[in-house]
């Protein structure tokens, strides 16, 4: 929507609310426009009004709870509403959006398929897209879009395998190992580091130092000392392929421990290919595991024409980022999945 469209829509919503302060269509329109125009404080006020108004439709209150960061409660509201009437495409889509933020990719697919079966036709111009763009980062938005496309392919063309998402998850890794110059490779690696490690100040230049610090911490931990000591030996020897393999094995083992956080079945992990597994994981975690796999398996990588070798500083930084991303994701989703306590009335 253009600025003029936003202004006109806001005027319409305000006129409707002047006649009926609880008009559901006007409140929904106004809150989404406020989010879309970056008026977050105003949007939170509108959404708080909707959320606290018990007589509002459950779907509206669920969207409000989601934007206000009350994800488990938002999902609970939607599930009750959908149990009574499951054929509500926009509510099913919002449920998929909530599950994405909770790290449950399989459930995202389930809700998205149900939404499509109920008639969903998501378009970038839809007002709900303003909410999606607010709730997700740019890369996450594109990731959700690829899940949507995969569900379309599955439902309407009978295709399986999450091909759109699989291709997207691997793209930056493929570009890294096919970059024609060190400068291009450094640029791609820097972007990948930012994607994996977020706002953390991780650069190729400091990667080795930070990786050494991580491994040293492990070596001082009685339970993980062997991993830390072996990792330090490999780091000193410049054996980044073996170090990546060690980290990958550790994270796959820890994934079993945290399988309920990302809604992965323990038995499924033992029998799945890496493609089947990673396409059911949150984006950053999946890209981290795939990056480690590419670093650890040079023969398989070169078979896919990813023939360039990457510099040692880049290797160290990427392993560090993959390490951080995995545990950051686990901690973030565990926190999001905890219901927030109700605010006490003053």
Check residue 179 and give its pLDDT. Answer: 87
Check residue 346 and give its pLDDT. Answer: 45
Check residue 11 and give its pLDDT. Answer: 87
Domain ranges in the chain with CATH number 1.25.40.10: 3-157
How confident is the model over 31-37, as a mean pLDDT?
Answer: 93
State the pLDDT confidence band at 267, using cuts at 50, 70 and 90: low
Residue with tokens 């994981």: 281
152-196 pLDDT per residue, tens: 999 999 888 789 999 999 999 999 988 888 899 989 999 999 999
Check residue 1 and give its pLDDT. Answer: 52
pLDDT(206) > 90 = no
Check residue 199 and give its pLDDT. Answer: 64
How confident is the model over 229-249, as a mean pLDDT?
Answer: 95
HEC letters along 178-241: HCCCHHHHHHHHHHHHHHHHCCCCCCHHHHHHHHHHHHHHHHCCCCCHHHHHHHHHHHHHCCHH
207-219 pLDDT per residue, tens: 899 999 999 999 9
Q: What percent of the chain has pLDDT over 70?
A: 92
Q: How far apart, in whole angstroms, are the C-alpha atoms of residue 192 and residue 176?
A: 9
Fold classification of 3-157 (topology level): 1.25.40
As a whole number, the mean pLDDT across the chain is: 90
In 3D space, the residue among 46, 135, 126 whose CA is nearest the CA of residue 96 turns out to be 135
Check residue 334 and give its pLDDT. Answer: 98
pLDDT(306) > 90 = no
Q: How far apart, in whole angstroms, are the C-alpha atoms of residue 218 and residue 228?
A: 5
State the pLDDT confidence band at 57, using cuts at 50, 70 and 90: very high
**pTM score:** 0.93
Check residue 341 and report its DSSP letter: P
pLDDT(302) > 70 = no
pLDDT(110) > 50 = yes
């Amino acid at each position: 929507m253009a600025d003029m469209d936003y202004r006109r829509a806001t005027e319409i919503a305000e006129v409707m609310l002047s006649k009926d302060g609880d008009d559901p269509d006007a409140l929904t329109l106004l809150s989404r426009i406020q989010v879309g125009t970056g008026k977050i404080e105003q949007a939170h006020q509108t959404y708080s009004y909707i959320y606290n108004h018990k007589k509002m439709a459950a779907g509206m209150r669920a969207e409000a709870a989601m934007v206000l960061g009350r994800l488990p409660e938002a999902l609970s509201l939607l599930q009750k509403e959908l149990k009574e009437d499951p054929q509500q495409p926009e509510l099913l889509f919002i449920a998929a959006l909530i599950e994405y933020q909770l790290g449950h990719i399989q459930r995202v697919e389930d809700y998205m398929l149900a939404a499509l079966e109920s008639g969903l036709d998501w378009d970038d111009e839809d007002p709900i897209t303003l909410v999606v763009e607010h709730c997700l980062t740019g890369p996450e938005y594109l990731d959700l879009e690829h899940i949507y496309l995969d569900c379309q392919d599955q439902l309407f063309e009978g295709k399986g395998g999450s091909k759109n998402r699989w291709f997207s998850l691997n793209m930056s890794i493929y570009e890294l190992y096919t970059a024609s110059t060190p400068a291009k490779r450094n640029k791609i690696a820097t972007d990948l580091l930012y994607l994996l490690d977020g706002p953390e100040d991780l650069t190729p230049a400091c990667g080795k130092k930070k990786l050494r610090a991580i491994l040293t911490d492990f070596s001082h931990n009685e339970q993980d000392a062997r991993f830390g000591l072996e990792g330090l030996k490999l780091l000193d020897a410049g054996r980044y392929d073996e170090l990546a393999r060690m980290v990958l094995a550790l994270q796959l083992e820890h994934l079993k421990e945290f399988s309920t956080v990302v809604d992965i079945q323990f038995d499924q992990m033992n029998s799945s290919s890496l493609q089947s597994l990673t396409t059911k994981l949150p984006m950053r975690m999946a890209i981290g595991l795939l990056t480690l796999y590419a670093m650890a398996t040079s023969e398989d990588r070169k078979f896919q024409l990813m023939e360039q070798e990457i510099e040692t500083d880049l290797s160290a930084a990427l392993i560090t980022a993959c390490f951080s991303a995995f545990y950051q994701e686990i901690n973030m989703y565990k926190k999001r999945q905890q219901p927030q306590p109700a605010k006490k009335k003053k």
